[in-house]
Amino acid sequence: MVRVPPPGVYVPSPTFFKPIQGATQPEVDVATQSEHSVFLAKNGVHGLVLLGSTGEAIHLTRAERKGLLSGVRKSLDDAGFPDYPIMAGVLVNGIDEALEWLQDSKDAGCQWGLVLAPGYFGGAASQQGLIEWYTIVADKSPIPILIYNYPGVTNGITVTPETYEKLAQHPNIVGCKMSHGNVSYHVQVSTSPKIDHEKFRVYSGFGQQLGPIVVFNAAGVIDGLASFFPKTVVRLFELSSKRPIDDAAIKEARDLQYRVSRAEDYIGRWGILGIREGIYRVVGLGTVEGGRAPLRGRIPEGAWEEWADVMKAMSEP
């Protein structure tokens, strides 16, 4: 039977790099990557997305990707988290190359592939074309896949609810991640009577949508804020998914959603560099030198301090 990812909070981990020491590009830091992954597992996060957009997979070689995935899997197993859920990003447009990434992900111990919609040609790619592309990939993939729709990096391509309804019928397509602000699409796909929601999970890429979409049957979020405030985001998910939900839980969920939504504005403003900064300052891992060009550097001096009140409200024991 095809395995479906569990509901919950997943973290789209940034890829950690060693400090730059005269090299053209910094080396991948698998040890710190693994330490952060174990930290998240210990703090209630339900799963990881490695080598997605936040993970800069497009900046890594094939050997680096395989080494990172297998290194994190081994570290989680050694730390007492065997079979911990890992989705591996697949960020290419060619079908054969996507299948190569998926095979490598399986070999490294990942259970699912999070496959970005092929957006090189932008609007020239029709919904029917997307259905054909994903169907071929799913037919041949060695692991189940999820549809990853991030219009911001795919020339504005948006997968429609009708396309999700058709692709959800494929036995090897087990969910989707929507990284856009169209809450209506989230709700339509999460509640569609044409989809078996025990077999097809809907995740948002935005924690500010967590409470509203989980109330309407979404499976959870794949959220960067949880990379340094995992307990708060997980608690919000637990409250939002509680059935039946009592007045006390609703009150706490409203308070947490407000705090999370405010902090998510920081992620929206500073993106991957902001996530790195947050992990460095809150968790004490990584560096603030950024990743590989063109994402080197850090957020401007004083920018973190501008969010002091917001981050204080998110503080965790």
Q: Report the alpha-carbon distance of residue 274 to residue 86 in Å, rounded.
A: 23
Cα angle, residue 236 at apex, residues 231 and 240 outer, rounded to 5°: 150
Catalytic residue among 66, 177, 199, 251: 177
Give the three-state DSSP class for 203: strand
Contacts of 20 (CB under 8 A, 6+ apart): 26, 289, 296
Q: Report the alpha-carbon distance of residue 242 to residue 181 in Å, rounded.
A: 24
CB 313 within 8 A of CB 262: yes
Tell me if residue 42 is catalytic.
no
Nearest in space to 96 (alpha carbons), one of 136, 135, 68, 130:
136
Contacts of 288 (CB under 8 A, 6+ apart): 276, 277, 280, 298
Catalytic residues: 177
